[in-house]
Amino acid sequence: MTATITANLPVFVVIAPLFVAFVLPTFARRMRLVESLVVAIEAIGLVGAGYLASIVLMQKGIPIIYSLGGWSAPWGIELEVGSLGAFFLLVVAAVSLPVALFARGNLTEEVGGKERVTRFYVLYLLLNGALAGMAVTNDLFNIFVLVEVATLSCCGLVSARNHPRAAEAAFTYLILATLGSALVLGGIGFLYIITGHLNMGFASQELGRIWQDYPHVVWMAASFMLVGFGVKSALFPLHVWLPDAHSTAPSPASAILSGLAVKGYLICLLKVLYIVFGHTLMQEFAMHRILVLLGMIAIIAGSLFALAQDELKRRLAFSTVAQVGYIILGLGLVNMKGLTGTLFYLASHAVIKSSLFLAAGAIIAATGKHRISELAGIGRKMPVTMAVFTVGSLGLVGIPLFSGFIGKWYLLLGSLDAGHILAAAVIIIGSVLCAAYLFPIIRVAYFEPVPEENWQDPGMPQKIALILLAVGVVILGVAPGPFLELASRAAIELLVIK
């Protein structure tokens, strides 16, 4: 029994949440059961991801290959849990468990009605399964399908609140995201037509042989992919949908959308760029320069927009736009340190941003106030929540001992290795701007007169979820050991793939 489970674990971590998602509506009347089931499946996912990661770490770079249905590649569909896959699986599981825990209890009010809670969880698990799938898949068309599953469940989560603004944000998101998927599918089409493979490894080999015959097609494919995933991961000029979507969604949804969903698309982009095109082709077509440039623009512009917002969740949403810039910038560095940094930054931002959104959600749920200027003295009334928010902010700014610092350190090393002095400067300016838009919140919360109202920290499960995430931020900053190891291994594997 255990042998069967461990042998099939790569597919199990993807299928399990999807399966439970479809079973969930049958228990719709028993809320407690639904909630426990979701938390249980997330916990199982975390254990599975941890187990896979430990195997990958022990095998020192030999990936676990799983052929679906026993058909080996190139005919069948392949799942590959290498360092990259195990890394992202772990991130997904580690973030979605606390978020699911947080959702217990306070969700009913936010989404308006008990029956809607179950629907929320269905979408939540679907998104989870899709993200886990993105981590392990090694097939281009699978990527498209998973991206679509993720997109639809994201839209569903955005519209989960029973409010016309949520529906509007969801519609904008849906249209733009579908536009993005169409572009992604187009890009996959181009690649398939010239290479004849959908398996990424085979496509990459074929592409390496024939790209000189079809330079224009390769260009088209790359740009379609970049724009397509760019829309979905809110790369700066294509981010228009994000602030509305992430700020109107219920807080657990905002956390998972900003923390993980965006990262899933970035991982897909990373896989396509580094595994299918490969770093030599990327440099041949100067894609890395474009990525660095886009990243720098996103960091500065996103931060400036964030600075201008007074609504708490909108400020956090724009901050995501800026942070995506860091990851895109790191993708363009094409060296080991830069790539390690970008992967680690991705993980660190996933944990930090979800903790920030959850803390913001707890504040909004307790006070009913959305604006930063109205949050005076909240730190005294809700100490745990605000402490978590502070830890998250310090992490995002990149103060040593918190997770963001290590990511930024490697990004800086990488950008100087690649000779991008300007990029290094932008990374630093981004940190300062980040401090400029996050510290006022902390200042208002702690150093302004304490209000009369009886606001309180949220209930026990929420508190535990918040503390778990804050502890994650600190652990990643103080003892990043296995995470950093996985990230740097993944970076090496991506760079020596050809």
Partner 1 sequence: MRILLEKLMINYPYFVAVILFTIGALTVLTRSNLFKKLIGINIMESAIFLMFIAGGNIRGGAVPILDEANPKPLYINPVPSALMLTGIVVSVSVTAFALALIVRLYQSYGTTDARRIAEMRNEVTEG
Partner 2 sequence: MLDLILALLSGAVGGLIIAMMPRASSRLRNTIALIFSVTGMAFSWRVAQLVFAGESIRIAGEIGGLSWSLEPDPLGAVFGLIASTLWLFATIYSFGYMANEKKQRTYYTFLLMSFSVTLGVAFSGNLVALYLFYELLTFATYPLVIHERSLEAMKAGAKYIIYSLSGAGAILIAIVVTYGWAGNLDFAGGPILASGGIRPGLSLLLALFVGGFGVKAAIMPLHRWLPAAMVAPTPVSALLHAVAVVYSGVYGILRVVYSVFGHELMGQLGLSYVLPWVAAFTILVGVTIATQQDVLKRRLAYHTISQLSYILLGAFTLQPWGLAGAMLHMISYSTLKITLFFGAGIIAKQTGETKVSKMGGVGWQLPKTMAAFGIASLGMIGMLPLNTFWSKYYLMKGSVAGGRWPLALVLIGSGVINAFCFIPTVVAAFTGERGKPTAERGAEVSLMLAPTVLLAGIALLIGLWPGLVWPGVQAVVNWFF
For residues 107 and 365, is the Cβ–Cβ distance under 8 A? Answer: no
Stretch that binds partner 1, among 17-25, 145-153, 362-370, 486-494 (CB under 8 A): 145-153
> In 74-113, which residue ranges form alpha helices assigned H by DSSP?
83-111
- Residues 457-496 contacting partner 2, CB under 8 A: 477-481, 484
| Smallest distance from partner 1 to CB 172, Å | 8
Q: Which residues are CB-contacts of 479 (< 8 A; sequence separation ≥ 6)?
A: none
Question: Which residues does 75 contact at the CB level (< 8 Å), separation at least 6?
Answer: none
Asked if 247 contacts 360 with a C-beta cutoff of 8 angstroms, the reply is no
State which of residues 96, 118, 159, 204 lies at the interface with partner 1 (CB under 8 A).
159
Report the relative pairing of strands 78-81 and 64-67 from DSSP bridges: antiparallel
- Nearer Cβ to partner 1 (168/493): 168
Q: Minimum distance between the CB of residue 171 and partner 2, rounded to whole angstroms?
A: 39
Nearest to 458 by CA among 389, 373, 376: 389
Q: Which residue has the tokens 């106030």?
A: 369
Rounded Cα distance between 272 and 269, Å, is 5
Q: How far is the CB of 88 from partner 2 (least distance, A)?
A: 19
Does 436 interact with partner 2 (rule: CB under 8 A)? yes
In 359-377, which positions are buried (b, 16+ CB within 10 angstroms) versus exposed (e)?
Answer: bbbbbbbbbebbebeebbb
Which among partner 1, partner 2, none contacts residue 293 (Cβ within 5 to 8 A by kind)? none
Q: Dihedral (C-alpha) 387, 106, 361, 174: value to the nearest 10 degrees?
A: 150
Give dist(CA 289, CA 77) in Å, integer. Answer: 33
Q: Scanning residues 369 to 388, which ones bind partner 2 (CB under 8 A)?
A: none
Say whether residue 237 binds partner 1 (CB under 8 A): no
- CA distance from start to end of the chain: 38
207 binds partner 1 (CB under 8 A): no
The one of partner 2, partner 1, none whose footprint includes residue 192, by CB under 5 to 8 A per kind, is partner 1
Candidate list 29, 30, 114, 165; residue touching partner 1; CB under 8 A: 165
The minimum distance between CB 167 and partner 1, in angstroms, equals 4
Is 311 a binding residue for partner 1 by CB under 8 A? The answer is no
Residue among 168 and 417 whose Cβ is closer to partner 1: 168
| Residue 142 C-beta: closest distance to partner 1, Å | 10
From 85-93, 120-128, 156-164, 299-307, give the range in contact with partner 1 by CB under 8 A: 156-164
Q: What region does 395 belong to: left with phi over 0, alpha with psi -120 to 50, or beta?
A: alpha
Backbone Cα Rg of the chain = 21
Out of partner 1, partner 2, none, which partner does residue 439 contact, by CB within 5 to 8 A per kind? partner 2
Between helices 200-210 and 164-195, what is the axis angle to 10°?
50
Query: Which of these, 123, 115, 77, 75, lies nearest to 99 by C-alpha position?
Result: 123
Q: Is 448 in the site for partner 2 (CB under 8 A)?
A: yes
Q: Does 155 bind partner 1 (CB under 8 A)?
A: yes
Tell me the site size for partner 1, rule CB under 8 A: 26
Minimum CB distance to partner 1, residue 141 (Å): 5
Quick check: 210 binds partner 1 (CB under 8 A)?
no
Residue from 175, 422, 447, 453 that binds partner 2 (CB under 8 A)?
447
Sequence-separated (6 or more) residues with CB below 8 Å from residue 113: 162
Figure out which of the listed residues 64, 107, 170, 424 binds partner 1, where binding follows CB under 8 A.
170
* 416 counts as binding partner 2 under rule CB under 8 A: yes
Q: How far apart are CA 254 and CA 247, in angstroms?
A: 7
Chain residues that interact with partner 1, rule: CB under 8 A: 141, 144-145, 148, 152, 155-156, 159, 164-165, 167-168, 170-171, 174-175, 178-179, 181-182, 185-186, 189, 192-193, 198
Chain residues that interact with partner 2, rule: CB under 8 A: 344, 394, 397, 399-401, 406, 408-409, 412-413, 416-417, 424-425, 428-429, 431-432, 435-436, 439-440, 443, 446-448, 477-481, 484
